[in-house]
């Protein structure tokens, strides 16, 4: 039974992006314009050139402790997608605020889910659709081991709606210039330092509210 979890894309499209918010990446390590596999059109999309390694996220996206006056309990994660912030609620009307990258147009979502598990240096498994168009990724069909070049970054939090995997994650990124932008296929990305910090705070079972 659904519990307030709302998607703006179909399940078929979501399954096709099981790689989550991962961008197609250069195996040489040279990042150019960001390129995504779009499961709706079945093709790769290149995003505006301003999304590049030359971009430095504004200072407002730096991690900081802020005042929190909402009604969520300590230990809750709140994601304000429109403002590109993630809040981890602390006791005493405070929260840690992180800058995030969120879903691009057509891949946004909202609702209340929970953290079902946590992983350090998660494996990334590219979807079959991506491998068929990028044969060089075939060697990662069984998963790319965790590490600095892995698109999921240093840590991942797996989000479930009841007992159902939403296929969305809160994870790190090896593309920190994407923080503060709408760039993903629905996942929430933090820079690696921030996801490591958040990972150390959040407990399995913690509620996640996406606004």
Span between the terminal Cα atoms of the chain, in Å = 21
Q: Which of 19, 102, 183, 187 is catalytic?
A: 187
Q: Which of 23, 171, 172, 210 is catalytic?
A: 171
Query: Residue 129, SS3?
Result: helix
Active-site residue, 171 included: yes
Q: Biggest alpha carbon distance in the chain?
A: 52
Nearest to residue 116, comparing CAs of 6, 201, 207, 186? 207
Active-site residue, 84 included: no
Helices (H), the chain: 11-16, 128-133, 192-201
Query: Residue 181, SS3?
Result: coil
Task: Show which residues are catalytic.
Answer: 171, 187
């Amino acid at each position: 039974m659904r519990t307030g979890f709302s998607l703006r894309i179909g399940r078929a499209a979501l399954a096709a992006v099981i790689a989550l918010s991962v961008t197609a990446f250069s195996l040489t390590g040279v990042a150019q314009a960001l390129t995504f596999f779009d499961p709706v059109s079945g093709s790769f999309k290149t995003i505006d050139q301003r999304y590049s390694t030359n971009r430095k996220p504004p200072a407002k996206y730096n991690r900081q402790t802020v005042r929190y006056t909402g009604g969520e309990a300590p230990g809750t994660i709140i994601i304000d997608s429109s403002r590109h912030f993630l809040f981890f609620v602390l006791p005493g009307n405070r929260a840690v605020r992180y800058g995030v990258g969120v879903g691009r147009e057509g891949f946004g979502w909202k609702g209340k889910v929970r953290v079902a598990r946590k992983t350090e240096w998660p494996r990334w498994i590219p979807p079959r659709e991506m491998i068929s168009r990028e044969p060089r990724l075939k060697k990662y069909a069984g998963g790319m081991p965790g590490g600095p070049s892995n698109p999921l970054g240093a840590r991942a939090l797996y989000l479930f709606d009841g007992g159902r995997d939403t296929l969305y994650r809160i994870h790190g990124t090896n593309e920190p210039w994407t923080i503060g932008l709408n760039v993903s296929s629905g996942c929430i990305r933090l820079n690696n330092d921030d996801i490591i910090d958040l990972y150390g705070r959040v407990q399995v079972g913690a509620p996640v509210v996406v606004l």
